[in-house]
Structure 1
Amino acid sequence: MEYFNLLQFKKEPFSNSPEPEFLFTSPQHKTCLQGLELAVRLRRGLNIVIGAVGTGKTTLCRKFIQDLSAPAESDSSTIETFLLLDPAAESRLSFVKAVASVLGISDISGDDQEWQIKEKIKRFLFEQGVQDQKNIVLIIDEGQKIPDDCLEILREFLNYETNSFKLLQIVIFAQPEFRKSLAARANLLDRVNYLYHLQPLSFWQTKAMIKHRISFASQDPARHSLLTFGGMLAVYVATAGYPRKVVSLCHQILLMLIISGKSKAGWFMVRNCASKTNGRTFRRVTWVTLIFLILAVLLISTVYYLNEPKNHGHQIQKQRVLSSMDSDKREPFSPPPAEMDSVKTPEKIAPPAEMDSVKTSEKVPPPAEMDSVKNPEKIAPSAKMNSVQTSKKIPDYLGKIAFKKRMTIWQVLHIVYGEFNADIKRLFIAANPQIKNVDYVHAGAVIQVPSIKEKAQSMKKDTIIVSLENGKELGTIYYSFIEKKDIDNMPVLLLLSFWNKREGKHFSIALDERFTSIEAARDAIGRLPAELAASAQILSQWDGDIVFFNKRFLQ
């Protein structure tokens, strides 16, 4: 019997092998993978990921290869990946031979010189890339081992291109010392399309990583954690959030749990395991640092629990509002955004409107009073939708988004449209002539997101969705979406952009599910975290001319 079977695991949860299924995709890992995949699919050439020892580069590399094996709808060519595990070489000739061997070029003889092998590689890339329409990707792990003079060979490979794309895509995963090699070769650094620096995980990301591995390997995915809060804190103190150290320490903890016959590991057990693994680990952390970390965690926990009764009250109040939605006699409705000073009307209206031209003076009645609105005459003038003056055609732009650090165009447009391809990229470039390099947009830049009228889809009148937040500004809703999608136990979310003739543009953060009944939607709200369930809304009974712009909503 395998040792992990004793703890009801179907496979080893903390194996030191780079299994892509076990990769915990924190926000930085998602950003990195998305940037790399975009660069490869668009054939941008050289891309580099730099991270210290133990930050998970090799596992990320395997996950990246796995992601590329799944073809995208927009791909016109097949992607083939070739992995060079150890790029260390005694000479330039040895290096080009190693690359040729990895690419599967078999007609290499012992008498071939460097230039002859380069020509064979060039011919191979041309045949594969142009004649066979294949996208060839050379992935190099342990990139810091590449000899300096061999970096010039990689630069020469990048010169193999057609008028429209490069024949070879190169992705290098390397340790920080690789920066010196890059800095010494300005002509190579200038060709880097995408450069990403991996950082250690935060405390909460470390906690989520351990939870992800336990859940994936367990016979019961919903099983409880094997660590107490103190034990989790001890793991983070001992490992500083480096994934390799976390995996190694948690493996020792599992063995200790089996030996001791316990089901959970606390602070002292973790400390004992850490001291055996690396006796100086704990002594590197000063007690002052540890005390501040504990106080910070306790403060966050206290604030959360103090607010919990308040959230619960709002949830009960919200359920009273939602309970009126399934009445057969209720007229179709569409809830207004949180920013609008209006109330729900029994008239048939579409989702929230462009209210810029409407002067509001009335306040929204409390949720409990909304059901008391019986006719339009009792509604504040600002809520009467017939007075809204908006454009009669789909606008050219959905809105503006201000860029922050580590954002990518691919990420933004994929979230807004549910896809990213060459057509979307072309329309985006046309809408943003001030962006000179779509692969690098500096923090603070403001982009215009085009509406892409050709991709607008009609919303069926009886579609039922659950909205967590509504708004009139795309940028505000986008950043709120980014925050919400990574919350623990959060189901998959979508950012939906709506438009209709009477009320214009509106944006919503919604669950990625179309419900068959109001009851099913209520059940989904009940499974949300309390602070989100309190403000969730059920949207249904749409106007006939309303359209939306996210392709994923159709899948």
Structure 2
Amino acid sequence: MKEPFANSPDPDLFYHSVQHHYCLQKLELALRLRRGLSVVIGAVGTGKSTMCRALLQLLNDDSGAISVHLILDPAFASPLEFLATIATTFGIEKEDSSEWQMKEAIKNYLLHQGIDKNIIPVLIIDEGQKLPVFCIEILREFLNYETNHNKLLEIVIFAQEEFSESLKDRPNFSDRITSLHKLGPLSFKETCNLVRYRIQQCRNDGDTGPELFPWSSLLLIFLLTKGYPRKIIMLCSKILLAMLVKEKTRATLSLVWNSAGETSIPQISNLSKKLYGGGILILLVGGVLLFNSNGSLITSVKERFEPKKSTQQVVRDPRSPSTGRIVHKQSPDTGHKSNLNSVTASQPPPDELGYLIVLKGMSLSRMVTRVYGRFTEHNLRMVLKANPYLSNPAKLKVQTKIFFPRLPNSSTSKLTPILVRLGEFNTLQAAYDFLISNLKTGEAMRILPMWNGESRLFFLVVLEKKFQEEKQAQQAIARLDSSFRSAATVIKNLDGIPL
């Protein structure tokens, strides 16, 4: 069991509050759509650095399409030092170069990555409030590097609130921001969820264990920290340490109170002393516990303050048959198939490939990439058009069905005849589940929807790489993970119509 309240920005312990989850989803969409500049602003301790690491982890899972580069402390002394750091981060070797030579080298690198390799370079800057004026001007110049369709460099800046003043003073930079987010403290319910989430993440699998923080102690923690994540984590760390020393199994009010007095955060320490000296704590806790906003007595204190357990409900497809859209019915999956049906052209393919059910942690951009092989604005628009009930694509509800249309411009001309097939499935959901379950193997895979020309829609999961010779494909199979090496086969000719 690792420490649940370590003060390092561990992305595995990142709690997705409503505002943090919304911000992370919008950042990912902005980056994949190549919008240019995104800025996240928040007070000290609102979770910016942890979100920065969570974004890094999210993007690194798709390292084939995105290259991520991080600058932690941008307090540079000169423009040349800033440019040299960026060049080194990008892997550009330019010793003893002038500013102009550095900029040209970086521009050529971005052109090569964005156009020749179709890779999205992302530069993430933490502690952005430390950026000198000349650094902001250089970043503004980088945002001018673009094609007719998108930016060549994506920039994400995480900064404290004083960075807002820098933006006001530089309208030629701030008007380039396509995605601006402001983070604030957590609510009481979110404070409870954060504490419990971190503890549960650090427990052994299946171990529920005793409840270390009762609701009354969580309320006091919230009052003392005002909902700021860093203060919550630091205080809870002190509390856990005190519990170990005193051999306690629960964080009592007195233990929370004493730990707050010993904390190194001045606001918490001063507040605890003031509350204790004036007896205000009793009024705060007692008043909130006994009365609701209307002044009536609460019959169950725990019912008011205990965070309600989330209940996941399946969101039914709100589209009625009267819309006239053809919906392809998914039949129960029968697993891997050994033979492909022969092609006939008697029936047109369906307008819809099927649907995926949203699970926790899934994003629309990732689903689009894995279903269609790449993420483009056109593909995203087609999916949004097929799902008009999605009010916020950046924040998908768990158990929502996302329908994926057949793209009208599908073509077989871009496909080479030799592929490595890892599995064949009757439904899009089954193919997607297979792909997701094998991501840890490190193999680059994609889904290839197929139509047999009559009445059968099926889905191949193939290696993303295409081969010119059968020998190359066989060598690729030999290098596969043993978990699905035996099921992999070489396909010389597709006995179906790729959609």
Q: Answer whether TM exceeds 0.5 for this pair.
A: yes
CA 1:352–1:304: 2 relative to 1, 3 Å: farther
Aligned to 2:7: 16
Give the alignment of 1:443-522 within 5 angstroms: 450-451=385-386, 474=389, 492-495=398-401
How far does residue 494 in structure 1 lie from its aligned partner after superposition? 2.2
Give the alignment of 1:32-47 within 5 angstroms: 32-47=23-38
Paired with 2:274 and 2:55, the residues of 1 have a C-alpha distance of 34
How far does residue 392 in structure 1 lie from its aligned partner after superposition? 5.3
2:88 is the alignment partner of 1:101: yes
How far does residue 411 in structure 1 lie from its aligned partner after superposition? 7.0
* Structure 2 residue matching 1:18: 3-state secondary structure: coil
2:271 is the alignment partner of 1:281: yes
| Aligned 8 A contact 2:94 2:102 in 1 | no
Aligned to 2:152: 167
CA 1:149–1:275: 2 relative to 1, 3 Å: same
Q: Percent identity?
A: 40
CA 1:25–1:301: 2 relative to 1, 3 Å: farther
Paired with 1:279 and 1:202, the residues of 2 have a C-alpha distance of 21
Give the partner amino acid of 2:300.
Answer: T
Correspondent of 2:180 among 180, 192, 195: 195
| Aligned 8 A contact 1:237 1:290 in 2 | no
How far does residue 495 in structure 1 lie from its aligned partner after superposition? 4.4
For residues 474-524 of structure 1, the C-alpha deviation after alignment (integer angstroms, 9 at most, x for no partner) is 58xx79xx89x6xxxxxx5224789xxxxxxxxxxxxxx99xxxxxxxxxx
* Structure 2 residue matching 1:193: 3-state secondary structure: strand
Paired with 1:200 and 1:411, the residues of 2 have a C-alpha distance of 27
| Aligned 8 A contact 1:141 1:173 in 2 | yes
How far does residue 225 in structure 1 lie from its aligned partner after superposition? 2.1
| Aligned 8 A contact 1:31 1:411 in 2 | no
* Structure 2 residue matching 1:279: 3-state secondary structure: helix
CA 1:414–1:57: 2 relative to 1, 3 Å: same
Aligned to 1:342: none
Paired with 2:124 and 2:251, the residues of 1 have a C-alpha distance of 39
2:27 is the alignment partner of 1:92: no
Aligned to 1:257: 243
How far does residue 243 in structure 1 lie from its aligned partner after superposition? 1.0
Paired with 1:234 and 1:97, the residues of 2 have a C-alpha distance of 49
| Aligned 8 A contact 1:229 1:266 in 2 | no
Give the partner amino acid of 2:386.
Answer: S
Paired with 2:131 and 2:326, the residues of 1 have a C-alpha distance of 53
Aligned to 1:123: 108
Give the partner amino acid of 1:423.
Answer: H
| Aligned 8 A contact 1:50 1:176 in 2 | yes
Paired with 2:365 and 2:62, the residues of 1 have a C-alpha distance of 21
For residues 430-478 of structure 1, the C-alpha deviation after alignment (integer angstroms, 9 at most, x for no partner) is xxxxxxxxxxxxxxxxxxx6337xxxxxxxxxxxxxxxxxxxx958xx7
| Farther off after superposition, 77-86 or 47-56 | 77-86
CA 1:296–1:116: 2 relative to 1, 3 Å: farther
| Aligned 8 A contact 1:237 1:282 in 2 | no
Count of residues in Structure 1 that have an aligned counterpart in Structure 2: 347
* Structure 1 residue matching 2:233: 3-state secondary structure: helix
How far does residue 304 in structure 1 lie from its aligned partner after superposition? 8.5
Aligned to 1:328: none
| Aligned 8 A contact 2:318 2:389 in 1 | no
Unmatched runs of 5 consecutive residues or more in structure 2: 305-315, 328-362, 405-428, 431-454, 456-499
Give the alignment of 1:69-468 within 5 angstroms: 69-71=60-62, 78-109=65-96, 112-219=97-204, 221-277=207-263, 278-283=268-273, 287=281, 290-294=285-289, 295-296=291-292, 302=300, 390=322, 422-427=377-382, 450-451=385-386
| Aligned 8 A contact 2:261 2:273 in 1 | no
| Aligned 8 A contact 1:22 1:213 in 2 | yes
**TM score, norm. by length of structure 1:** 0.56
How far does residue 284 in structure 1 lie from its aligned partner after superposition? 6.2
Aligned to 1:25: 16
How far does residue 113 in structure 1 lie from its aligned partner after superposition? 2.0
CA 1:123–1:424: 2 relative to 1, 3 Å: closer
How far does residue 222 in structure 1 lie from its aligned partner after superposition? 1.6
CA 1:271–1:121: 2 relative to 1, 3 Å: same
Paired with 1:213 and 1:49, the residues of 2 have a C-alpha distance of 23
Give the partner amino acid of 1:35.
Answer: K
For residues 265-286 of structure 1, the C-alpha deviation after alignment (integer angstroms, 9 at most, x for no partner) is 1211101100111521325666
How far does residue 234 in structure 1 lie from its aligned partner after superposition? 1.2
Paired with 2:69 and 2:235, the residues of 1 have a C-alpha distance of 32
| Aligned 8 A contact 1:56 1:243 in 2 | yes
How far does residue 132 in structure 1 lie from its aligned partner after superposition? 2.2
| Aligned 8 A contact 1:157 1:168 in 2 | yes
What's the Cα RMSD here?
3.8
Give the partner amino acid of 1:88.
Answer: A
Aligned to 2:465: none
Paired with 1:164 and 1:412, the residues of 2 have a C-alpha distance of 18
* Structure 2 residue matching 1:264: 3-state secondary structure: coil
| Farther off after superposition, 137-146 or 266-275 | 266-275
* Structure 1 residue matching 2:255: 3-state secondary structure: helix
CA 1:302–1:105: 2 relative to 1, 3 Å: same
* Structure 2 residue matching 1:81: 3-state secondary structure: strand
Paired with 2:302 and 2:236, the residues of 1 have a C-alpha distance of 28
CA 1:193–1:299: 2 relative to 1, 3 Å: farther
Aligned to 2:41: 50
CA 1:301–1:90: 2 relative to 1, 3 Å: farther
CA 1:305–1:149: 2 relative to 1, 3 Å: closer
**TM score, norm. by length of structure 2:** 0.61
Paired with 1:212 and 1:103, the residues of 2 have a C-alpha distance of 36
Unmatched runs of 5 consecutive residues or more in structure 1: 1-9, 307-336, 338-350, 355-388, 396-409, 429-448, 453-472, 486-491, 499-512, 515-544, 546-555
* Structure 2 residue matching 1:423: 3-state secondary structure: helix
Paired with 2:61 and 2:229, the residues of 1 have a C-alpha distance of 26
Paired with 2:403 and 2:65, the residues of 1 have a C-alpha distance of 32
Q: Which runs of 4+ in 1 moved over 6 A?
A: 297-301, 410-415
Paired with 1:266 and 1:253, the residues of 2 have a C-alpha distance of 9
Paired with 1:394 and 1:284, the residues of 2 have a C-alpha distance of 67
CA 1:184–1:293: 2 relative to 1, 3 Å: farther
